[in-house]
Amino acid sequence: MSATTTPLVITGVSLYGDTTADLVIAKGEIVSLSAADAPAKARTLDGKGLVALPGLVDLHTHLREPGKEAAETIETGSRSAAAGGYVAVHAMANTTPVADSAGVVEQVWNRGREVGLVDVFPVGAVTVGLAGEHLAELGAMALSAARVRVFSDDGMCVHDPVVMRRALEYVKTFDGVIAQHAQDPRLTEGSQMNEGIVSAELGLAGWPAVAEEAIVARDCLLAEHVGSRVHILHLSTSRSVEIVRWAKARGVTVTAEATPHHIALTDDNARGYDARFKVNPPLRTQEDVEAVHAGIVDGTIDVIGTDHAPHADEDKDCEWAAAAFGMIGLETALGVVQKTLVETGKVTWRDVARLMSEEPARIGRIEGHGRPLAAGEPANVTLVDPKRAWSVDPAAMASRSHNSPFGGMELPGRVVATILRGTVTYADESMRGSLA
Amino acid sequence: MRHLLSTKDLSREDAILILDTAGEMAKTQERENRKLPTLRGKTVVNLFFEDSTRTRTSFEVAAKRLSADVINFSAKGSSVAKGESLKDTAQTLQAMGSDGVVIRHSASGAAARLATSGWISSAVVNAGDGTHQHPTQALLDAFTIRRHLKGGEAGEGLDGLTVAIVGDVLHSRVARSNVWLLTTLGAKVVLVCPPTLVPIGAETWPVDIVHSLDAALNGYAIDALMMLRIQLERMTGGGAAFFPSPAEYTRLFGLDGSRLARLPQHTIVMHPGPMNRGLEISAEAADSPRSVVVEQVGNGIAVRMAVLYLLLAGEEVA
C-alpha cells in the first residue's frame, strides 16, 4: 500500500459547500464523517475553506488514443482529468481505429486501468467507422469487459433517421443511451463558425443554429416514439434548450449536456481568427449563452461535459479554415463553472455536484461514481479551494495539448486534490505537503 | 497604420489620407519618369496562394514604381503545394528580408493571422482573404468614385452619394470591403442581390438591401453602380444552387442596355473584373462611356502605391 492510500482524515471541510464535516477515508471508502472515528495512523488534512464534491465524472472526453497520441494519450489525458478534479471520464469513440468493436473498447478500458488515475469508460461508436450507415456491434461492446453503455458517433452526427431509430431501439436491451452530436451535415457543409452577425462580417462560412435544433427536435421525437433514452451532447443554442425543455415536459427520456466553453464564450471570440476558438458546435451568441445558463438552472440541461478535444499545436497555429475543431477543457471545467454559474449565484455547489458528478454517472450507468459524500460510500472526492484564484496557463497543463481557449483568463477557484477510491490521484502544490 | 487588413479598421481620416496620397501618386504617374525612389532598399513580397494575375501584377507595378525590390511568391509549384504551412512559408520569406508582405489567400482571416500571430514582423497588406476582405479594391473603388463624382478633391469623402453593389454579396470580399469603406466615407450603400446571396447577419450592416435591380433603379438615385462577378460554377451546381439558372440571374440582376438607360446621366458603372459579359453585365453596358472599369485598373496602381508608401516609408519619416 503506497503512502497515498494510507487512511486520510480531512477535517472541517465543507461538503457540497453547505455542510461542514470531516471526511474519514480508509480502504477506498468514506468510513465516517467525524474525525473522532479516524484510524490511529491516519494522515490529517485541514479542510478549512475547502469544498468537497463527489469526484467529478465527464461524459465527454477525447483521449485520442489509439491513433493521435501526438495530441493526447490515455495516460496524459488521465493525468489532465485528475488535475481537473475528475475521477471518471468517458472516452469518445472517434479514435483511429474507431472504437466500434469490442476489441478496441477493451483496449481503451485496459489501458485506462493500467494508468489508474481515473476510471476510463469507453464510449462505443453507434455506426461502423462513424460512417453513419451500419450499426456497429453495440451488443458486443456492451457485453465486453468495458461494459459500454454510452454510444456515440461524436464528431459526426447520426444523421440518417432510420439508423438513429434503430440505434435508439437496440440499446434498450442493455439500458444503453445514444449520445447524439446534433448537426445536420447538409446544412453545415464547409461551415467554420456560428452563422450570424460575426460570420457575416468575417466572411467565414456559417454553421446555422437550425442545423443543431432540427436534429435535437427529431431525436426527441424519435426517442418518444420508440421509448428510448437519448442524450444530446454539447447543446449550444437557445432553441435547442427550448426544444429539450418541451420534450422533457412531455415525458421524453432525453438528457442534455452543456460544455464549459459554450457557457462562457461567444462567437465574438472568433474576431481575430485565433483558431483556439474554433470548435464544433461553434461558439454561439450571448443570447444563446444565457439560454443555456437558464437551461442549467431549471434542470433542462442535466450535465456539464467538457468535450475535452486535444489537438497538436500545428493544427491550431494556422489559418482558421485549416485549423481543427476543438478545445481542451478538463483542467479548466470546474473553474469556468464556478466563475460563470456559482459566482453569479445561478447554481450552488450542490448543483455542481449534480451537474458534474451525479447525473453524468447516472446517465452513463456507471457504478461507484456520483455517490453521496456519506459513510459507507466509495471515497471518490474532489477537493476545491473556491478562493484560490489562478490564471490559466495552457503550457503548464497536464494535457499533452495546449489548445485551451481560456489561456490568460483568471478563474476564481481551483481543484486542489482528487481522490479516487481513497487514492490521491492529484494534489496541487498547496496540498503536496499534507498528501505526499 | 501598421498593416492594412480590413476596411472596417479604417477611420475616415485614415481612409481619406490613403485616397489623398493615391491622388499624389496618380499625378506622378503622368510624368515621363514614373519611378519614385521612396522605397529604395525595401523588399515587398507578393505572397499569392490564389491565382490572381491582375491583383498581383498591380501590386508588383506599384511596388516597382516606388523602387522597392519585389519578390513574387506564388503557391503553385512552391513548397506550399507540398503541404508547407502558412506559418513556415511566412517565416521563410521573412528570413529573406521582407519589409512588407502582400498576401492573397483563400482562407478568410489569413492576412490577420499573418499580422497578429507573432510569426513575422513585416507589414501585412491584405490582397484578398477568402470571402472576408479585399481592402485595396475598395480603396480604388472609392478613389474612382471620388474622382468622378467629387472632383477628386483632397480631403473629400463620399458624402451624399449613393452606391449600389449588385451580385453575390455572400461570397464577396469586394462587397464586404466596400460596405465598410464607403459608409465610413459618408456614402449610402444599397446591396442588390437575391436573398440566397445575402449573408445572415447583414441585416445589421449600415446598408439597405433590395432583391432586384429594377427595385434598386426605381427606389434610389444611384450615383455609382458596382456590378460584382458571378462565379457560375458555384452558383448553379446541384441542389444547393443559389439561383435557379444563369438566365434568371441575368433577368433579375443583369445590367443591360435598357437598365443602363434608366440610370441618371452622371452615374458611373463599375466592375472589379474580370467581367462575365452577358451574365452580370452586357457588352453594351461594359463598353458604354459610363463604364469606368478600365480606369479602375489604373487607379488600382495609384492606390496600392499609396498603401505601400504609407506602411513602409512611414517608419523613416517618423
Query: B40 — phi, psi (to 5°)?
Result: -60, 130
Predicted confidence at residue B241, as pLDDT, reads 87
B86 touches A at CB < 8 Å: yes
Query: Residues near B244 by Cβ (< 8 Å), separated by ≥ 6?
Result: B236
B131 touches A at CB < 8 Å: yes
Question: What's the gap in Å between the CA of A372 and the closest CA on chain B?
Answer: 47
Domain ranges of chain B: 7-134+298-317, 136-295
Q: Tens digit of pLDDT for each residue in B194-253?
A: 999 999 999 999 999 999 999 999 999 999 999 999 987 767 666 678 988 899 999 999
| Cell numbers placing A386 | 473556491
- Which of A202, A278, A317 to mutate against chain B (most B CBs within 10 Å)? A202
Tell me whether domains B7-134+298-317 and B136-295 share a fold.
yes
For range B266-282, the mean pLDDT = 95
Predicted confidence at residue A196, as pLDDT, reads 98
Angle between helices B12-28 and B293-312 (to 10 degrees): 110
Query: Residues near B23 by Cβ (< 8 Å), separated by ≥ 6?
Result: B143, B152, B154, B302
Q: Which residues of A touch B (CB under 8 A)?
A: 189, 192, 195-206, 208, 272-273, 314, 317-322
Choose among B8, B112, B202: nearest Cβ to A273: B112
Supply the residues of B annotated as catalytic: 54-55, 82, 104, 134
Q: Tens digit of pLDDT for each residue in A393-430?
A: 999 999 999 999 999 999 999 999 999 999 999 999 88
Task: Determine the CATH number of domain B7-134+298-317.
Answer: 3.40.50.1370
Rounded CA-CA distance A259/A280 in Å is 11
Q: Tens digit of pLDDT for each residue in A210-253?
A: 999 999 999 999 999 999 999 999 999 999 999 999 999 999 99
Rounded CA-CA distance A141/A128 in Å is 12
Task: Please state the ipTM of this predicted complex.
Answer: 0.93
Predicted confidence at residue B239, as pLDDT, reads 67
Choose among B129, B176, B200: nearest Cβ to A206: B200
Q: Tens digit of pLDDT for each residue in B167-194?
A: 999 999 999 999 999 999 999 999 999 9
Q: Tens digit of pLDDT for each residue in A342-362?
A: 999 999 999 999 999 999 999
B121 touches A at CB < 8 Å: no
Q: How many CB pairs under 8 A join A and B?
A: 75
Q: Count CB neighbours of A173 within 10 A.
A: 11
Contact B199 A199 (CB under 8 A): yes
**A29 DSSP β-pair partners:** A26, A378
Which residue segments constitute the domains of chain A, with CATH numbers given? Answer: 3-52+376-387+410-435 (2.30.40.10), 56-364 (3.20.20.140)
Instruction: Place domain B136-295 in its CATH homologous superfamily.
Output: Aspartate/ornithine carbamoyltransferase (3.40.50.1370)
Per-residue pLDDT for B82 more than 70?
A: no
